[in-house]
A = this chain, B = another copy of it.
Amino acid sequence: MSRALRGATYPRGFRAGGVACGLKRSGRPDLAVLLSQQPAEAAGVFTTNTLKAAPVLLGEEILRRNPSGIRGVLTVSGVANAMTGPEGIEDNRRVLLGAEQCFGLPADALLPACTGVIGPRLPVETVLSGLVPLREATGAGRSCERAAAHAILTTDTRAKQVALSGRLADGTRVRVGGMAKGSGMIAPRLGPPHATTLGYLTTDARVHAPALARMLADGVERSFNMVSVDGDTSTNDTVYLLANGRAGGPYADADPALRALMVTALESLARQVARDGEGATKLLTVTVRGARNLADARSAARAVVGSTLVKAAVFGADPNVGRIACALGYSGARLDPERIDVSLRTAHQAVPLIVEGRPAAGLDNGGGKRVRELLRRLDEVPLEIALHEGRAAATAWGCDLSYSYVQINAAYHT
């Protein structure tokens, strides 16, 4: 069950807040905290980019040292704190220490995350000056949580939240919540202990940290790692998962219902990130079925969602189905060109685009007025691809390539 307008503080025992400390020239909120009232078991996945930002290196280190005593996440938005070397790590440490003192927490209780421009040093004093206001703005209410979900954004146009609840095998009712940001430099490839996609998931379920790490790694593979806005894998991508156990009951380390809730929550956030891709006018959802194996299904789905030419065609509502076939062909997935089927599958209809490797009737000469009109109307373009090679399936999320994308990225830095 999804609860609109709630997110990371929907599970019991979590609070959040967001303020503007002065990092963003726009004056928008840029400092956020997410807190658990009691120590939480925690897991994280981080970017696989070789140039890991300071908060990524530091977050990995803190999780190694203190996986069962985490009290929250402190996010700085506007500066990535990447390309800043050991000084960057030291800067981030000072900020965390300041926050831990301000919130009355022990050392290593807070996990760091940053997002924004790569290159500049973290303005430590500016961030420190925002801590007391942040503490005063932190609570469990809907508005505090919205403020936090907004403060972690950069070029995003909307906050991304999710809230779910369910019953575990033993009958315990648990809640799962989350927030995310991400609009550009989005092609997360997060590894087990590996997005500037940021995502924080919370739950009041009782789970040990190693089991949380497995759940998170598995869920991220099917969600954030299947999103591409621009194919650029950021230096700062981070997804954290905090479980504070407030729901009680026995440990749910292997509970399938909890695992399913996590995947659903992560997929929801991943879709929201893709939908809000820089300059996006449409969400592109590509589901590949009948692949030889999962790796093939994932590469095929990712290739189509990541194809610049497919993205531009979707923006133009142009049923240029050859571009879809072309992307499948270079995806590396094993396939027989003569057996590929592709359709546009909405809630109400399935319109064939490619049938047994050929453009569907009427689409082979730029025809397909009906398809064109459908594409124009759709806010979400759902492509369904059947390879007929096996039984594996995967879904990837992306967005179209618009003039605004170019505008945003030709001028973002300046």
A318 to B410, CA, bound (A): 7
The residue in chain B whose Cβ has the minimal distance to the Cβ of A329 is B51
* Contact flags A165-195 to B (C-beta < 8 A → 1, else 0): 0000000000000000000110001000000
Name A197-250 residues within 8 Å CB distance of B.
230-235
Q: With an 8 A cutoff between CB atoms, is A22 at the interface?
A: no
A330 proximal to B (CB < 8 A) = yes
Per-position 1/0 for A282-309, Cβ under 8 A of B:
0000000000000000000000001111
Contact-residue size bin, chain A (C-beta under 8 Å from the other chain): 35 or more
* Contact partners of A372 in chain B: CB under 8 A: 414
Checking B357, B403, B411 against A403 with a beta-carbon cut-off of 8 angstroms, the contacting residue is: B403
Q: Could you give, for residues 308-346 of chain A, a 1 whenever the CB lies within 8 Å of some chain B CB and a 0 otherwise?
A: 110011011011111101111110011101100000000
For the complex of A and B, list the 9 residue pairs with the smallest distance between their C-beta atoms, beginning with the closest. Answer: A118-B322, A316-B410, A51-B329, A312-B409, A49-B329, A233-B330, A119-B359, A320-B413, A230-B308
CB contact under 8 A between A318 and B413, given known A50-B337, A358-B84: yes
Contacting residues, chain B, for A333 (C-beta < 8 A): 50
**Shortest Cβ distance from residue A175 to the other chain B in the assembled complex, whole angstroms:** 35
Partner pick for A323 among B52, B85, B232, B307, CB 8 A cutoff = B232
Which residues of chain B are near A307, meaning CB under 8 Å?
A: 231-232
Which of B308, B321, B406, B413 interacts with A402 by CB under 8 Å?
B406
Instruction: For A322, list chain B residues within 8 Å (CB).
Output: 80, 82-83, 117-119, 235
